[in-house]
Amino acid sequence: MDKKIKGIEFLIALFRMIKIKNLHASIEGTEILRGINLEVKAGEVHAIMGPNGSGKSTLASVLAGRDEYEVTEGSVDFLDEDLLDMEPEDRSRAGLFLAFQYPVEIPGVSNINFLKTAINEAREKRGEDPMAAKDFLKRVKEKSKLVELDGRLANRSVNEGFSGGEKKRNEIFQMAMLDPKLSVLDETDSGLDIDALRIVANGVNELKTKDNASIVITHYQRLLDYIVPDYVHVLYKGKIVKTGPKELALELEEKGYEWIFKELEAVSA
């Protein structure tokens, strides 16, 4: 990355969270992402919408470092570092958080113990002392309240026997515990009833500050009633084909995606 940035460019870079440039990625030889460009700054919420198979979850997976995907072209700068060069754990420690579409059940692994390890390993990397047990428990109490996650659930094995809604609330609970700079929420709304959706969205909103940012990936506009985005992007065949203000989401809900694809065809014809 070119470090010789001056004046106004320096200020922009300071607020820039992530810059995705011409990102191509494939799985088992099939190209899924075909040149994604996206820039997110601190304090912003970006929504990514699109039909099934458009590459939404692939984008989330590539950002988090899932190794089944091969990045064939492009770059991702995250807080002035080459994200694609980092191990998944280093991405997390640098401040990236992926809320999984399908949170994994891990029997025998305590939710709390593993979060404690995660937080303390990150602190160790930064040369800080481990978090005091008292402070940690205080934070658990505070953050589990935020997503109305029963204290008993927080202490159980990771996601084991959790309902769909509890799993998603646990994702946001973990997000709150880890306090990331950039959160990628991968279809966090899928399968949620309206109460769970409200709780999850409320958690995300409560955690929003001028110093962090979110990318909200969703299939439905419904979530965006609760988490209001600054920008809405439409992903189609591995590319962002349209970007607009929050109203774009409503338009998509009403008219579907077809009109955008027709527009596209008209342009390319």
Partner 1 sequence: MEVMNETVTLTNKDKFLSHFDLIDFSMDEDFSSDARKEAMELIQWLDFPTSKAEYWKYTRVNKIIKGNYKVSAPENEIEIDLSVPSKNCIVLINGYFSEELSFFDKTEGIEFSSLSDAKKSNSILGEKFNSLVKKDEIFADINSAYHQDGAFMHVAKNVQVEEPYYILNLVDDSNIVSNPRNFIFIEQGANAKAVLKTINTGNTGSFTNMVSEIFVEKNAQFEINKIQDEAEDSFQIATEQVVQGDDSTFKINTFTLNGAIVRNNLNIDSLGKNTMTYLNGLYPLKGKQHVDNHTYLLHREPNGESHELYKGIMGDSSTGVFNGKVFVHKEAQKTNAFQSNANIVMTDTATINSKPELEIYADDVKCSHGSTTGQLDKEALFYLRARGLSKDSARAVLVNAFASDVIEHIGVEAVKDEIEKYIDDNYHGIK
Q: List residues binding partner 1 (CB under 8 A).
A: 64-67, 87-89, 91-93, 98, 100, 103-104, 106-109, 113-119, 121-122, 157-158, 174, 178
Task: Write out the two tokens for 156.
Answer: 């159980």
- Other Cβ atoms less than 10 A from the Cβ of 238: the count is 23
Min separation Cβ 113 and partner 1, Å: 6
Q: Which H helix or E strand runs over 82?
A: strand 81-82
Measured from the CB atom, the residue of 67 and 265 that comes closer to partner 1 is 67
User: In angstroms, what is the minimal distance from the CB of 67 to partner 1?
Assistant: 8
Min separation Cβ 66 and partner 1, Å: 6
User: What is the distance between the alpha carbons of residues 91 and 234, in angstroms, rounded to a whole number?
Assistant: 25
Strand 81-82 to 239-244 pairing? unpaired
Look at residues 200, 63, 79 and name the one whose alpha carbon lies nearest to residue 71. Answer: 63
Q: Are strands 16-27 and 30-41 parallel, antiparallel or unpaired?
A: antiparallel
Cβ-based nearer residue to partner 1, 157 or 190: 157
CB of 196 to partner 1, least distance (A): 20
Minimum CB separation from partner 1 for residue 123, in Å? 10
Compute the least distance from the CB of residue 54 to partner 1, in Å. Answer: 22
Q: Across the chain, how many H-helices and E-strands are there? A: 10, 12
By C-beta, is 65 or 238 nearer to partner 1? 65
User: Which of 166/241 has CB closer to partner 1?
Assistant: 166
SS3 content of the chain, % helix, strand, coil (to 5): 45, 30, 30
Least separation in angstroms between residue 92's CB and partner 1 is 4
Strand 96-99, strand 30-41: pairing: unpaired
Which residue lies nearer to partner 1 by CB, 157 or 243? 157
Query: Which of residues 74 and 103 has its CB atom nearest to partner 1 in the complex?
Result: 103
Contact 33, 55 (CB under 8 A): yes
Written as one letter, the residue type at 221 is: Q
Name residue, tokens 């912003």. Answer: 44
Q: What are phi and psi of 259, to 5 degrees?
A: -60, -35
Q: Please say which residue, 55 or 65, places its beta carbon nearer to partner 1.
A: 65
Query: With contact defined as beta carbons under 8 Å apart, do 124 and 102 qualify?
Result: no
